Amino acid sequence: MRILKNVILFSFVLLILQIVTWKVSEYVLTIGFMCVIFLAINSIFLIIYMTKRKPVSIYSDLVVLFMIFFTLYGVAYPLDYTLGLLNDYSYEQVYKSMVVYVLASISLIIGISLSQAFLKNSVPKNKRVVKSLPYNSLSFAGITILSLGLVAMLYDLYRLGGFNVLGVANRMDYFYAQRNLGGSTLPFKELIGAGFLTLAVSVNNVKQVRYLLIGLMLVCSFLFFGMGSRAYIIIVALPVLSILIHRKLITINAKKSILIMLLYLIMLSPIFTNVRDSIITQSDLFNLPKEDWAFSSGETGASFQISTKIISNDSWNGADASYITAMMYMLPSNMYMAITGHSKPMNLSEWYVSQYLPYTYKSGGGVGFSPIAQAWMNGKYAGIILVYMLIGYLISRFNNKGLLKYILIGLVLSFQRSSFQSFFSSFLIMSLTLGGIIVISVILSKRKASYPYEVNLIK
């Protein structure tokens, strides 16, 4: 009861701050000061949260990772704007977007805090989820799904053009071929991610861990050099790292933790983007303008810019931002039409690039989307508050939900720059795949006594 009272009081204070921030939208404060507020709110919350929860590592806690990436994606572009490195939008547009991000941050923290208050125990109950399993059928199923994912990836490349779309230099040709096929690809990254995640749960000695990491490095190297995709790498690698750390099969001290974070920052930085783009366009890497070296010119800026564009406009012709539509998007077209009475709308990421970046759209490219923008399209300020309170509540609850937590850890970065439809599709495919793996493993196993334990994996 005492914890509940403290959380309610904390949430009330944050709500007052939220209302004040909401009203301070006449440019009373500078963008730089709003960045400081945004960073301070999130940093203070993370310090309090980690002090109370004491996670094994920041890489094995869904709430911590979500807050880190949310903060990074929310503050990178405004800081570059304040430093004069980028000026694609007016001061008023960037300021208003920054106010919206602060509102989202406060709402997110309120949702997390309320969820924590209603948890019966502050200690996570998923420790048994990451123990070694008592039979080999799960490992066999994991290898099978991983193999299917690799075959699906190679077949997807083959049907899109084979060697003509393989490699960083042919990245745009890959997307163009994908666009010509209606934007459809096989769910190979979800299958590969589910396979590796299952193997990370089932390994139980140093030798097996070594083989797992070698296989992971080989696949990630292909995703890097063959497809030039950092998002795919993180979806596949981050859950494996999280599980192995949680199980203490690998140890991460403070120095290693910082090095891993620096590696992620390099992947998200313009270094990765500029090297990749220089290969695609055959341009001189060392003669790029200073704007291309601004940090948000890498991975982290597009989402904020999309949010700014959407927030600055009052109408979004042809867009369907409904979350219900997003969850129904995986249905076959005929079934979708039978239920809704109309054909599927464009994915928001495709709609945005076709509406605002037609040349990029025609060439097969894209820039993703923004969850902030989608929440804004569903109710503006009220949509931001309600959606991000719900997100905060859910990520806190899922932080104690076994394998589902690790699926979300893999998707936590791509969530920051994608539509809900794209995120939900990946989450659903990986969840169903892992559910199928567990069910098949239980059926194949002769050790019936372990069945109740396996069911708990997906609770």
Concatenated DSSP letters of 384-434? HHHHHHHHHHHHHHHTTSTHHHHHHHHHHHHHTTS-HHHHHHHHHHHHHHH
Provide the pLDDT for residue 459.
39
Residue 345 placed within a domain: no
Residue 452 has pLDDT above 50, yes or no: no
106 within 8 A of 17, measured Cβ to Cβ: yes
pLDDT higher at 84 or 171: 84
Residue 62 has pLDDT above 90, yes or no: yes
Give how far Cα 147 sits from Cα of 132, 140, 330, Å: 22, 11, 24
Residue 95 placed within a domain: yes
Residue 238 placed within a domain: yes
**Residue where a domain terminates, one of 68, 87, 118:** 118
pLDDT digits (tens, 9 = 90+) for 332-363: 888 888 888 888 888 899 899 999 988 888 77
Tell me: do 147 and 96 sit in the same domain: no
70 within 8 A of 108, measured Cβ to Cβ: yes
Confidence of residue 447 (pLDDT cuts 50, 70, 90): low
Across residues 320-326, what is the average pLDDT? Answer: 91
Tell me: do 23 and 170 sit in the same domain: no
Continuous H helices in 161-289: 171-180, 188-202, 206-227, 230-246, 254-268, 270-281
Across residues 157-163, what is the average pLDDT? Answer: 79
Provide the pLDDT for residue 147.
93
Least confident window among 38-42, 220-224, 400-404: 400-404
Provide the pLDDT for residue 353.
92
**Cα(160)–Cα(174) distance, rounded to whole angstroms?**
7
Mean pLDDT value across the chain? 81
Residue 273 placed within a domain: yes
Tell me: do 88 and 145 sit in the same domain: no
**Cα(73)–Cα(300) distance, rounded to whole angstroms?**
5
Choose among 75, 71, 87: nearest CA to 35: 75
pLDDT higher at 65 or 248: 65
Tell me: do 98 and 192 sit in the same domain: no
Across residues 351-376, what is the average pLDDT? Answer: 88
- If residue 381 lies in a helix (H) or strand (E), which one and from where to where? helix 380-398
**Cα(186)–Cα(157) distance, rounded to whole angstroms?**
10
- Domain total of the chain: 2
DSSP annotation of 283 reads -
Residue 211 placed within a domain: yes
Is the pTM higher than 0.95?
no
Residue 363 placed within a domain: no
How many CB atoms sit inside 10 A of residue 452's CB?
9
Tell me: do 139 and 272 sit in the same domain: yes
Across residues 145-150, what is the average pLDDT? Answer: 92
Provide the pLDDT for residue 457.
44
Tell me: do 186 and 97 sit in the same domain: no
Tell me: do 134 and 261 sit in the same domain: yes
**Cα(77)–Cα(447) distance, rounded to whole angstroms?**
54
Tell me: do 136 and 105 sit in the same domain: no
Least confident window among 13-27, 278-292, 391-405, 419-433: 13-27
Tell me: do 249 and 162 sit in the same domain: yes
Confidence of residue 120 (pLDDT cuts 50, 70, 90): low
Confidence of residue 455 (pLDDT cuts 50, 70, 90): very low
Tell me: do 153 and 220 sit in the same domain: yes
Residue 74 placed within a domain: yes
Residue 386 placed within a domain: no
Provide the pLDDT for residue 388.
96
Q: Determine the structural domain holding residue 13 and report its residue range.
A: 2-118
